[in-house]
């Protein structure tokens, strides 16, 4: 719908919900082990809000296949749902590297992969800022999914770019790599700083996250090495391409 404002497309939350369900019903199907894992986490865990949605996952799979993605870094593994989606997208001969600071979450994720016979995911426990530089090898990655601590997005982006210089013999990301960043609109708080709703444990955390996301979004839009499309869907998703 050309020039339509997003707020005027769906006049009620009910209509937005119906449209989402319809879109889901008319998109590619996900394998059952993925939808079942999503449902199990949603039913059993009180931190399941951190999950990406099944519809967003279809976009990830679509993009991975369109971009020829075989190697992905999943920054913010949580209990392994998004990594499981990437594992499906890249196929058994691909590789997903999941980075997670919590050894408890990583253990749950690893167990989920083992019990489902998924063996193309490797996990690294620790602060992603420390793990990312260790991933440079002979074979660059094709894609990154940023979904960990929002305040560190600018640092993660700076690392990805500085470890993927055109003149370098070894680089972390290949030219043309895809970076997908989740939560870039943060419930509308990024475009509207006057919002008073708060989902954060403290004002300090809120301010840190929002400041980090704003800096990240501004950098992506301004950096000549990057091409970005920010989608105002879900919690805001930026699709970023490394040009060189
Ligand atoms: C929103 S959740 C990720 C959800 C996951 N991508 C999915 O959709 O299944 C964010 C995760 O990032 C992890 N995290 C937070 N800070 C981190 C850091 N500095 N390094 C690595 N992981 C971190 C959290 O423990 C949490 O599991």
Residue 76 CB less than 6 A away from ligand 1: yes
Residue 51 CB less than 6 A away from ligand 1: yes
Strands (E), 10-114: 71-75, 95-100
Mutual angle of helices 81-90 and 54-66, in 10-degree steps: 30
Which of 49, 58, 61, 77 for mutating ligand 1's site (highest number of atoms within 8 Å of CB)? Answer: 77
Q: Ligand 1 centre and the CA of 162: distance in Å?
A: 22
Contact 210, 184 (CB under 8 A): no
Of ligand 1's listed atoms, the one at least distance from the Cα of 83 is 9
Single pTM value for the model: 0.96
The beta-carbon contacts of 57-60 under 8 Å, at least 24 apart in sequence, are: 57/30, 57/82, 57/85, 58/24, 58/27, 58/28, 58/30, 59/237, 60/85, 60/86, 60/89, 60/145, 60/180
Among protein residues, the one whose CA lies closest to atom 11 of ligand 1: 76
Q: Which of the 8 DSSP states describes residue 194?
A: T
- 86-97 pLDDT, tens digit per residue, is 999 999 999 999
Of ligand 1's listed atoms, the one at least distance from the Cα of 152 is 19
DSSP 53-70: PHHHHHHHHHHHHHTT--
Q: Ligand 1 centre and the CA of 10: distance in Å?
A: 31
Domain boundaries, the chain: 52-242
What's the chain's Rg over C-alpha atoms? Answer: 18
Which of 30, 39, 41, 50 for mutating ligand 1's site (highest number of atoms within 8 Å of CB)? Answer: 50
- 199-230 pLDDT, tens digit per residue, is 899 999 999 999 999 999 999 999 999 999 99
Residue 148 CB less than 6 A away from ligand 1: yes
Strands (E), the chain: 71-75, 95-100, 121-125, 141-146, 173-182, 226-231, 237-242
- 38-68 pLDDT, tens digit per residue, is 999 999 999 999 999 999 999 999 999 999 9
ipTM rounded to 2 decimals:
0.99
Residue 52 CB less than 6 A away from ligand 1: yes
CATH of domain 52-242: 3.40.50.150
């Amino acid at each position: 719908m050309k020039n339509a404002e997003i707020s005027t497309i769906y006049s009620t939350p009910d209509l937005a919900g119906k449209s989402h369900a319809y879109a889901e019903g008319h998109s590619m199907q996900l394998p059952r082990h993925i939808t079942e894992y999503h449902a199990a986490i949603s039913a059993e865990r009180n931190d399941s809000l951190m999950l990406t949605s099944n519809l967003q996952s279809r976009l990830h799979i679509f993009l991975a296949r369109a971009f020829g993605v075989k190697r992905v870094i999943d920054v913010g593994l949580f209990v392994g749902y998004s990594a499981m989606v990437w594992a499906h997208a890249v196929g058994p001969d691909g590789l997903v590297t999941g980075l997670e600071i919590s050894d408890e979450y990583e253990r749950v994720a690893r167990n989920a992969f083992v019990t489902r016979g998924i063996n193309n995911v490797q996990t690294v426990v620790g602060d992603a800022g420390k793990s990312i530089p260790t991933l440079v090898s002979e074979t660059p990655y094709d894609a990154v999914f940023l979904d960990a601590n929002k305040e560190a997005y600018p640092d993660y982006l700076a690392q990805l770019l500085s470890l993927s210089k055109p003149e370098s013999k070894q680089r972390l990301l290949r030219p043309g790599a895809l970076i997908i960043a989740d939560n870039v609109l943060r419930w509308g708080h990024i475009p509207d700083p006057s919002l008073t709703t708060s989902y954060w444990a403290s004002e300090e955390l809120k301010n840190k996250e929002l400041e980090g996301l704003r800096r990240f979004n501004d950098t992506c839009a301004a950096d000549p090495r990057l091409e970005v499309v920010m989608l105002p869907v879900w919690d805001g998703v930026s699709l970023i391409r490394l040009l060189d």
